[in-house]
Amino acid sequence: MTVMNRKTAAIAPLTTGCVSLQQRYQALLAGPDESSATWLDEQLARAGNLLDDLPDTPSQLPAWSARQAAQVAEAYAGYLAQRRQGAPRRFFANRAQALWFLQQVAPTKAVDGAWLHGALQHWRDPRYHGLIRTYLEELGNGDPRCNHVLIYQRLLSRLGCLEGMQLEDQRYLQGTLQLALGQHCDAYLPEVVGYNLGYEQPPLHLLITTYELAELGIDGQYFQLHVTIDNAASGHAHLSVQALRQLCAPHDEQAFYARVRRGYRLNSLGIAAPDLIRQFDLQAELLAALERKRVYGQFMHADHCRVQQRTINQWLAEPGAMPAFVAALQAQGWIRRGQEPAQSRWWKLIDGPSAAMFGVFNAYEKQLWHDWIADDWQAPIRRVVPGSWGLPEATEEQPGTTQHEPPAALIERMAGNRHATPDGLSATRAFIHATGLLQEEPR
Ligand SMILES: [Fe+2]
Ligand SMILES: [Fe+2]
């Protein structure tokens, strides 16, 4: 989670050659990708042109981090005061917008912590233990209830958004950066430390997102978790400052810190979360979803289904006709905008187990319909407490699979998003056991 002040917008990195970000992301997920070092250099050069808010020397970082935390806390108190006075939600006008956002950032969340993977191989060196501790906590120490990537996947799954929408290539930028840093830790150690420093400072948008998701009945445990675990007093934000102090070459502090700064600025590449959220356009999303469905539905309807003298099949046969089709549904009284969606005949056709069009629209698409029909009509607030969806029980160790493997083999199985599979979780637990890095519980 980054708290970057985006003084300069950095948009549209051009990918090397004809490799898209998504392709590079997939290649990095699959395993070592040597070409990603050159790509990383390009991104660092781009980031070098940005401004940042880091202090002049590393010794000022603890005060800087504390100041950031205080500013975020103050801004959040201001937000809450505004809300108490009746201000509308700042980020999510409706549930569809929240679902859209959660899917937009999924490629980043699916590799949460990946920039630190390369630190694992230095488990014998105590200077790396802060970074390793952070990484292991991102992995939930191998407990599926606490693995950040899994928590996010469960969130998407419960919201019916697991299949993933088509995303702009840019949505893969931060995830690709994280995977590339994770693969080139040794060559880019200061940059990894700097990226970590930026990503682990809890930002204001994290707090607002957590609050507003709860208000929309969405379990924001993933976000709530980062408010607590990334805290600046003793959490990942604190460890990120400490790691710099421990790993900074004493004879060459200035050069090391200059590279830390470059890595820190990588957080600013791409679009900031609040700006991304503002890009959501409910009607455009709905019409785009309909246009995608149109092709599949054009021969599926009986000819007695007519809307304004045209059969449904005729409507669906015509590319670009969806805005007129939706207008016709309204004119015919099948959709009553501004009222509770359950009052609309159209909604009854698509929602519920006995609906005639049951299953035609996925959960996200139905939410688009719901919120577009509801328009200014507001459903009563049904705030949920983060974590209230409940979590699966911890799994028992599968005997014989990982217990005696050397750390190097285990590290391999903890890369990318592999650590979120049963095998990766098991490898994580075995790594902690084999390296003696188990954190003792109070007793
Ligand atoms: Fe995380
Ligand atoms: Fe973290």
DSSP assignment of 192-230, as one string?
Answer: HHHHHHHHTSPPHHHHHHHHHHHHTT---HHHHHHHHHT
Question: Is the predicted pLDDT of residue 402 greater than 60, yes or no?
Answer: no
113 Cα–ligand 2 center, Å: 7
What is the mean predicted confidence (pLDDT) over 132-142? 96
Task: Kindly state the average pLDDT of the residues 375-402.
Answer: 68
What single letter denotes the amino acid at residue 280?
F
Please report how the helices 204-215 and 61-84 are oriented relative to each other, as an axis angle in degrees rounded to 10: 30
- Taking the C-alpha atoms of 139, 141, 142 and 145 in order, what is their torsion angle to the nearest 10 degrees? -80
Cα–ligand 1 centroid distance for 347 (angstroms):
38
- Residue 112: nearest ligand to its CA? 1
Q: Ligand 1 centroid vs 340 CA: distance in angstroms?
A: 37
Q: Which ligand is closest in space to the CA of residue 140?
A: 1
State yes or no: pLDDT of 13 exceeds 80.
Answer: no
pLDDT single digits (tens) 82-100: 999 999 999 999 999 999 9
Ligand 2 centroid–CA 442 distance in Å is: 22
CA distance 150 to 109: 9
**pLDDT at 312 (0 to 100):** 84
Say yes or no to pLDDT of 162 above 90.
no
Ligand number with the minimum distance to the CA of 148: 1
Closest Cα to residue 280, out of 152, 165, 160?
165
Cα 442 to averaged position of ligand 1 atoms, centre (Å): 23
Q: Where are the domains of the chain?
A: 21-280, 283-374
d(CA 46, CA 198): 17
pLDDT of residue 431: 93
The reported pLDDT for the residue numbered 14 is 46
Ligand 1 centre to CA of 421 (Å) is 16
| Amino acid letter, 369 | W
Digit-coded pLDDT (tens) for 59-82 = 999 999 999 999 999 999 999 999
Distance 389 CA to ligand 1 centre (A): 19
pLDDT for residue 401 is more than 70:
no
The answer to whether residue 123 scores a pLDDT higher than 70 is yes
Q: Ligand 1 centre from 59 Cα, in Å?
A: 26
Q: Specify burial of residue 12 (Cβ count, 10 A radius: 0-12, 13-18, 19+).
A: exposed
pLDDT tens track for 187-220: 999 999 999 999 999 999 999 999 999 999 999 8
- Tell me what pLDDT residue 6 has: 41
> Is 284 or 399 the better-scoring residue by pLDDT?
284
Q: Mean pLDDT in the chain?
A: 89
Inform me whether the pLDDT recorded for 390 exceeds 70. no
Distance 183 CA to ligand 1 centre (A): 18
Distance 381 CA to ligand 1 centre (A): 28
**Which-ligand-closest: CA of 235?**
2
pLDDT tens digits, one per residue of 33-54:
989 999 999 999 999 999 999 9
Using the mean position of ligand 2's atoms as its centre, give its distance from the Cα of residue 199 in Å.
8
Range with lowest mean pLDDT among 54-58, 217-221, 300-304, 342-346: 300-304
CATH 1.50.10.10: does it fit domain 21-280? no
Ligand number, closest to the Cα atom of 228: 2
Predicted confidence (pLDDT) at residue 307 exceeds the cutoff of 70: yes
d(CA 203, CA 198): 10
Q: Which residues contact 127 (CB under 8 A, 6 or more apart)?
A: 246, 247
Is 198 within 8 Å of 5 (Cβ atoms)?
no
Mean per-residue pLDDT, 355-383: 88
| Residue whose C-alpha is closest to residue 210's, from 233, 226, 231, 230 | 226
CA of 132 to the centre of ligand 1 (A): 13
pLDDT in tens, 228-268: 888 888 899 999 999 999 999 888 999 999 999 999 999 99
Give 429's contacts (C-beta < 8 A, 6+ positions apart): 141, 142, 143, 397, 402
Which residue did the predictor score with more confidence, 86 or 315? 86
Longest dimension (CA), the chain: 82
Q: Report whether 203 contacts 35 (CB < 8 A).
A: no
5 pLDDT higher than 80: no
Q: Is the dihedral of CA 114, 115, 116, 117 positive or negative?
A: positive
CA of 112 to the centre of ligand 1 (A): 5
DSSP letter (8 states) at residue 88: P
Taking the C-alpha atoms of residue 18 and residue 14, their distance in angstroms, rounded to an integer, is 9
> Which ligand has its closest atom nearest to the C-alpha of 111?
1
Amino acid residing at 326:
V
Distance of alpha carbon 127 from alpha carbon 239, whole angstroms: 11
Q: Identify the nearest ligand to the CA of 196 by its number.
A: 2
Say what the pLDDT of residue 400 is: 47
**Three-state secondary structure call for residue 417:** coil
Phi and psi angles of residue 90, each rounded to the nearest 5 degrees, phi first: -85, -35
What is the pLDDT confidence band of residue 375, given thresholds at 50, 70 and 90?
very high
How remote is the CA of residue 229 from the centroid of ligand 2, in Å? Answer: 6
Ligand 1: distance of its center to the CA of 43 in Å? 23
Mean pLDDT of 398-408: 67
